[in-house]
Chain A
Amino acid sequence: MRDANAIDFWRGLALVTIFINHIPGNTFERYTYSQYGISDAAELFVFLAGWSIGIATRGRDGRPEPALRSVLRLMSRTIEVYRAQITVMAIALAMIAGTALLLDNPLILEWHNAGTFFADPIQTIVGVVLLSHQLGFFNILPLYVVLLGIAPVFILLARVSRIAALALSVGLYLTSLVEEWNLPSWPGEGDWFFDPLCWQLLLVLGFVLEDWNRRSDTLRRWARRLMPLGVGLVLLGIVLSVLELRPDPLLVPEPRLIFTFDKTYLSPARLIHVLGVLLAFQGVYAVLAPRIGGIVRYLTSLGRNSLAVFSMGSVFSLAGQLLRFWTGGGLLIDLIIVAFGLFALGFTAWFVEWRSRKPRIPT
């Protein structure tokens, strides 16, 4: 078990934020930072994932591990994430169907994109397994599967030249933005909610910056100097989101995705905003850590076990949604849901670590 660190802390915070934001309409939603910026927890999460890959594919001395081992490591992680997505989708569909039956209410079957599955299971189950059918709120892991799947290309290239890896990544990002490349949804029309061809840039940025940060203190010095810029961007983000100011996608010039605040394609405004957030909050962990030990321990435990916590969090937030719908919601219900959820996320993290410590029972 690694010690508490800033990466796990922020990742833990992103996980809690995603859990709360995935129960739309709940009272606590408005207290999450996602409501006060152009980017949200998803950006933070993917960037930190890239940063962690940088750490994971090197030895303690900072030397990169053998290429084949890195490829196998990423492949193994891809499979783990894929398995989590399939499991969570099965549970989610069963929860939706079960609630519809229990409440004799077919409206629930129309829950964010689930209707396709229930009306046309033959095609849709194929789509589920291919990741081309995604339920609303269950679309981050498919993104992550693709990102981890293509990560070896960038990581091995970065060992030769970080600039080349970054150039490839930026090139793919810009082309996808201009040409509106995205992976298709199927069955049905439309595209993925998170476009991996664009979002890969955040992962690669995380990875490359981690590498740079380790090699020299240039990045740290510049990051400190640019902190006021980061704070400015964060303040701008607050103003824009509170006043609901954003470009009209039909009025901006072509290629319009460059100018809009589009989440699917990670449009530049969101990218710049998340970089601003990173600049603004870079030193916050060091200030907070000694003062809020309990919270730091809690959040870092979530961050260390992010896949399990994220997966269970998706299931808990769906349960929270269904419970809110059934009971009609209200402050008390929201309080119970969020309190239970935070406890359950912490328990998940603890349980995963307990399981890995425990010697396996011989069979």
Chain B
Amino acid sequence: MVRRVAFPQAADPDVRAAPPGRRPLLLALTLLVGLGTAQAQEPAPEAARPAPTVVSPPTAPPAPAGESLDPSLSPECRVPGSKLYTLAKLHAVKTALKEKRPVRVLAVGSTSAGPGASASYPVKLETALERSLPDVDVVVEARGLQGEIASGAAERLRSMVADVEPDLVIWQVGTHDALARVELDAFADALDETVKWVKSHDIDVVLVDPVYTASLAEDEYYLSIVRKVQEVAAREGVPLVQRYAAMRFLSGRGDKGEDHMLGRQFRLNDLGLRCMAEHVTRAITLSLLQPDTTGTAGPVLGKSLLPSPRDGAHGPQVNPTPDAH
């Protein structure tokens, strides 16, 4: 079951101030997320009533200089949560945490963190995840996956997964299929089947959808590919990093900072690559805070392409400790 957590433009301070929890596992999940992230909900007495889940920093207009809004995302990557992810449970990673063994992550897709990056994407990802999950050893293996999901790549992904035997697969998906303009249904079916397969082996999946760029903003086919990734994530109940929506949001922000020799779209693309490790980490750490109960919790705020979760959810039983503040 996917639960989407959406974020009001300004997080409610009362919600943010939720008391820290006591569950040992979740203590380990302490987020470095700042104000408003590790929002927790009270062990809900009124379990049937969905409670707002507020996980993200206030979005929108960049903070006035000097004011720290959210230490979890660097300023240039700051995006409202509703634009950044949909959350779902990560059972295998939780199990690894419980067993106090290293979390093995297979990062599939581009491994670049943009030109002139401080480190490659897998290194940044590993660092960011370890920072978010103190005392947890995270091992990231990264692999490029050439070919289309609709043809041979799904098969190669299976081999990779068998090779690495990870707890979690973080899969940037859709770019190659979009470039080849494969049939939408062939893409969606193959993706769905592959995600199902990974899950059937008790391995978690996080999907990352393709990038936003202006010249494709009106391309119906490309939008459909992005939508298909979202649909599969929703259907299979796996977290999704909405790279498309996040970059679109970033593109609409006031264009400050250095220009790019090749123009705005290339600058945005570099930014997207730079921010990816943070964005993915954010979706994972928040997904780990999802309650173990099978019911749904939390209303959906904000608009989304995804179907709404059922009502009548159980209250979450998670009380992360916002240690950053």
The interface stretch among B39-47, B81-89, B94-102, B174-182 is B174-182
- A103 vs B115: C-alpha distance in the bound complex, in angstroms? 20
B residues less than 8 Å from A324 (CB atoms): 180-181
Interface string of B146-171 (1 = CB under 8 A from A): 11101110011011011100000000
Contact with A along B234-274 (1 / 0, CB 8 A): 00000000000000000000000000001101101100010
Among A23, A25, A29, A324, the one with the most B-chain Cβ atoms within 10 Å of its Cβ is A25
Kindly state the separation between the CA atoms of A321 and B175 in the bound complex, as whole angstroms.
13
Whether A325 touches B179, Cβ cut-off 8 Å, given contacts A101-B262, A107-B211, is yes
Chain B residues 2-40 with CB under 8 Å of chain A are none
- Looking at B58-66, B70-78, B127-135, B213-221, the stretch in contact with chain A turns out to be B213-221
Chain A 192-229, CB-CB to B under 8 Å as 1, else 0, gives 01000000000000000000000000000000000000
Q: Closest chain A residue to B142 by CB distance?
A: A189
* Neighbouring B residues of A105 by C-beta, 8 Å: 213, 215-216, 265
User: For residue B179, which residue of chain A has the nearest CB?
Assistant: A325
Taking a contact as CB atoms under 8 Å apart, the answer to whether B179 and A111 are in contact is yes
Residues of A contacting B182 in the complex (Cβ-Cβ under 8 angstroms): 24-25
Contact between B215 and A180 (Cβ–Cβ < 8 Å)? no
A261 and B180 CA atoms in complex are apart in Å by 24
Are B159's CB and A249's CB within 8 A?
A: yes
B324 in the interface (beta carbon within 8 A): no
> In the bound complex, what is the Cα–Cα distance between A263 and B151 (angstroms)?
13
* Contact present for A112 and B146 (CB under 8 Å): yes
- Which one of B115, B146, B159, B214 lies within 8 Å of A136 (CB-CB)? B146
**Contact present for B221 and A112 (CB under 8 Å):** no
- Shortest distance from the beta carbon of B252 to any chain A beta carbon, whole Å: 17
By beta carbon, the residue of chain B nearest A251 is B201
B117 x A119 contact (CB < 8 A): yes
Asked if A249 contacts B269 (CB within 8 A), the reply is no
The reply on A5 being an interface residue by CB < 8 A is: no
* Cβ contacts under 8 Å, B201 to chain A: 250
C-alpha gap A262/B156 in the complex (Å): 8
Whether A25 touches B150, Cβ cut-off 8 Å, given contacts A112-B176, A119-B114, is yes
Closest to A123 in B: B120
Name the one of B120, B146, B178, B197 contacting A137, with C-beta atoms under 8 angstroms: B146
Provide the B104-143 mask, 1 if CB < 8 A to any CB of A, else 0. Answer: 0000001111110100101000000000000000000111
> A residues 253-274 with Cβ under 8 Å of B?
256, 260-264
A153 to B238, CA, bound (A): 51
Q: Hey, which chain B residues are within 8 Å of A171, CB to CB? A: none
Q: Are A328 and B143 in contact (CB under 8 A)?
A: no
Q: In the bound complex, what is the Cα–Cα distance between A321 and B263 (angstroms)?
A: 25
User: Shortest distance in angstroms between B55's beta carbon and chain A's nearest beta carbon?
Assistant: 29
Residues of B within 8 A of A262 (CB): 159
Most buried by B among A104, A111, A324: A104
Q: Chain A: which residue is nearest B165 at the CB level?
A: A250
**Cβ A321 vs Cβ B143 within 8 A:** no
Residues of B within 8 A of A325 (CB): 179-181
CB distance from B117 to the nearest CB of A (A): 7
Asked whether any CB of chain A lies closer than 8 Å to the CB of B320, the reply is no
Partner of A248, one of B158, B177, B213: B158
Across the interface, do A328 and B181 meet the contact criterion of CB distance under 8 Å?
Answer: yes
Q: Decide: A250 and B269 in contact? CB cutoff 8 A.
A: no
Complex Cα distance, B147 from A189, in Å, reads: 17
A190 to B144, CA, bound (A): 8
| Whole-angstrom CA separation of A189 from B120 in the bound complex | 11
Interface centre among A105, A107, A187, A261 (most CB of B within 10 A): A107
The 5 closest A-B pairs by CB, nearest first: A136-B146, A249-B162, A119-B112, A106-B269, A25-B180
Give 4 A-B pairs besides A106-B211, A116-B110, A189-B143 with Cβ atoms closer than 8 angstroms. Answer: A110-B110, A119-B115, A249-B159, A328-B181
